[in-house]
Structure 1
């Protein structure tokens, strides 16, 4: 495949809380309203922001995370996202945390700056002006010169209080030699509500989420210089690496003899709906490329698994918010439990672990895993280098995965199960997750684009069992 001239920008900030999610979402929506096809992307493992990008762009918001998939796959995944379902005119990448903040102790690995460098993408820096004016210029000066490989092509001034405030901030940025491509006043009405793990997912706020995206689009039209931002995007370097292809990734796995092809075309039921909103688009693409028929189901509404289900995937989300409704759907809980007890393959991550446990905040769940889950005041957050401790439907013991934990719940183990993962945390060995028969359940979020063998192994397991 030839080099790609895909115009693109990475919207970053000096720190979290600067407004980059709202501005990136508004930019995506405003460019779309201009008639451009926009490919939305998010640096890091977060699932929530891509949900708003999806609502703004009308196509899947996709993640670019060097830890989860490997730095060598970032450009291929960017190109894949920009070509699917149809070629995009421009890509908007939202950064994570502060521009240079990555995995702790890694020198900025997997940071927005790292992704901008690997993908040869110019940065538009969002600076919160709420407590500064001319000093904003010093911030921009420092960020624009901290790493010569990172090019800041423009600055958006956010939370300006008045025309005089804006003029003073602009004057400071002018001294740093970086153009201002937008100035946004304080807009208390344009706010996306949050809770314990960040923004409330768009899927839980429909149609309110669409109204919020429309308001953000108006904000972008009114206060951003869209032509100037597109001019910055046009300076992005060509992308020489070929686009990622799930079928080709699986062909490599099978050519190496790592996983057999499935018998037939197994039906894999993938949980969705308001309680299970966390999913990487590449997971379903890999399952389909591996030979599966992917069928969605909603644990809040569906009273049974889809007919003919051969495998179940329950990803992340907020079951703790919907525990009562999930627990009231006894027919589906019993169906999932019976499926797992009969030997049906199940892969569950984070929210999926809670759903498969005995109870969640005192509400009975599926009972496949002997754990009780409850809310916790402690946030567990961080990248993990995990080693599989037992053979499972995702692969053999000893397999290495790169994952991410992000939750405010805890589980009390009330049964004896083989553990799923082992890793080192601050020099101390730690075990997490469970393997029960052909069920794999843990807190660890993984992106199978970084290990396509997991998709091949799971689909093979789904095609090779009978109740």
Structure 2
């Protein structure tokens, strides 16, 4: 499969500085002229973004829970192809797992699959000879762990460094370098800004990566570390391939004249707000993938047939999202025209009527408000409707990490349900919006279904063709539709108007609207349900998944936006560790450095 030299950078726990060290290692190697590749264990977009910025190629995530342990080595081989060195940054502590499955989901588990040496970053600011006991304990805890060496962080003095080196020499553990307390500059932008500084290649982000690389190059014996990385054995098996994911998939419909559907993926000029494999899978499935930046672009790309909004778009940019009224109107029109719109995380808040008192796209009759706590955790979810994402009853594993809470939590047709949790998300026409984030490499059929749903029919491209009748924002649990004024005002839904759908991809239509392929039938709308209430499960709906992971859940009570408009987000600069800590998390957040 691959013989790329590689190391896994981990730590005893969060807060030891492993993100700054991993970014600095990649930047220092790139400055030497080496072709580098960066990876992040777990679902964290932000760290993967900075690792990619330092390496000069897109950073990727290796999450056994989202993609399956069997895909970790193939995805690594795919992302590291042609590299001289690959650096994998771990998550939390070396043996920690947010899902409680340390043997497969922890950093140690990933290092074992990759047969890679582990470099342990240890904050020794308040430690002496005890560092030997700590490191020895980590090495002895798993006899199969390959502990390649240690990087000491926040060393006080030359004497302190020598004391630490002597203690580790006694147990036979190499020390690759020692960083003084101020060697790692506090330059990484605060975590609340997410991947945006990377996606936009801001001066702040570029300067941060360069300074971390200089710090590592001056304090770490790179030659010795690279020698250990090059001793990693060749991995067996085939590298992951987006094209191979569809080898057994049924053929997709072909547009008129062989036209490929145009699918816009939200992202900045240098990075999408989602996992890199999403765009690769869409292209392999037959789509023309184009980028649209919700923060600056005022229109969708020409000929857009579908829109994908990944979960990495930060909530703190609500003001910029709201101010881009032209793009909001274009997205609303795309949804009303019956085009597929897939939104995850903040994408759901963007499609709502308003978020923190600011107007959004108005596609969904829902409001969002920021809370003090962060909801975080994996979910084993069951699809509550057949959509371009999944068929009814399909079970997928996703991840939640958000502060914004949506009211109501679910629409009349929810997107997902899971054990011990109320239904969540919205399905309306071909809109699928939820705060659950999926990794498409673990579910490549999503790309296949979306391309099928996005392929235009001959009638849609005929001269003078009229798009599907527009509708008002998706009603929340049968609640009243709130009309809006201005150019983006929704058009009232017409009962009985057919909604076109490609073959093989069912569409969930709103009450009173039939799906094309049969004579229009006016269906009675269901009885209204109070906003925020959970509608009864439809006949044939999948039951909650037994044993699903549900570390925490949002409140289901009525949550209303604040009466006063909150201040616009500032742009503070935090430290690689404490300065990037998130607010207290519900359900066990990483609080990653």
Q: Same fold (TM over 0.5)?
A: yes
Residue 180 of structure 2: aligned partner? 185
Q: How does 1:64-463 map to 2 (within 5 A)?
A: 64-83=62-81, 87-187=82-182, 189-196=185-192, 201-203=197-199, 206-252=202-248, 254=249, 257=250, 260-263=252-255, 264-273=259-268, 278-413=273-408, 416-424=411-419, 428-463=420-455
Indicate the SS of the match to 2:105: coil
CA pair 199-21 structure 1, distance change in 2 beyond 3 A: farther
CA pair 261-110 structure 1, distance change in 2 beyond 3 A: farther
What is the alpha-carbon distance in structure 2 between the residues aligned to residue 154 and residue 262 of structure 1? 55
Q: Deviations over 1:79-105 (max 9, x none)?
A: 10012xxx1111111111000011333
Residue 29 of structure 2: aligned partner? 31
Q: Deviations over 1:93-132 (max 9, x none)?
A: 1111000011333244311001001111110000111111
Q: CA deviation at 1:203?
A: 3.3
| Count of residue pairs brought into register by the alignment | 455
For the 8 Å contact 1:193–1:199, the answer to whether it is kept is no
Give 1 or 2: higher helix fraction.
Answer: 1
What is the alpha-carbon distance in structure 2 between the residues aligned to residue 277 and residue 260 of structure 1? 25
Q: CA deviation at 1:319?
A: 4.8
What is the alpha-carbon distance in structure 2 between the residues aligned to residue 415 and residue 51 of structure 1? 31
Farther off after superposition, 454-463 or 166-175: 166-175
Identify unmatched segments of 5+ residues in structure 2. 461-466, 468-593
What is the alpha-carbon distance in structure 2 between the residues aligned to residue 35 and residue 24 of structure 1? 17
For the 8 Å contact 1:276–1:314, the answer to whether it is kept is no
Give 1 or 2: higher strand fraction.
Answer: 1
CA pair 195-33 structure 1, distance change in 2 beyond 3 A: closer
Q: CA deviation at 1:417?
A: 2.5
Residue 17 of structure 2: aligned partner? 19
What is the alpha-carbon distance in structure 2 between the residues aligned to residue 219 and residue 119 of structure 1? 28
Indicate the SS of the match to 1:397: coil
* CA RMSD of superposed structures (Å): 2.0
Indicate the SS of the match to 2:43: coil
Query: Structure 2 length as normaliser, TM-score?
Result: 0.74
Residue 43 of structure 2: aligned partner? 45
What is the alpha-carbon distance in structure 2 between the residues aligned to residue 373 and residue 365 of structure 1? 10
CA pair 144-379 structure 1, distance change in 2 beyond 3 A: same
Farther off after superposition, 415-424 or 130-139: 415-424
Indicate the SS of the match to 2:415: strand
CA pair 132-319 structure 1, distance change in 2 beyond 3 A: closer
Indicate the SS of the match to 2:243: helix
What is the alpha-carbon distance in structure 2 between the residues aligned to residue 150 and residue 360 of structure 1? 46
Q: Deviations over 1:244-266 (max 9, x none)?
A: 110011223x1xx4x73553310
For the 8 Å contact 1:302–1:332, the answer to whether it is kept is yes
Q: Deviations over 1:252-304 (max 9, x none)?
A: 3x1xx4x7355331001111139996311100000101111111111222221
Q: Deviations over 1:182-239 (max 9, x none)?
A: 1111126343132458787533671111111110110111001101111110121211
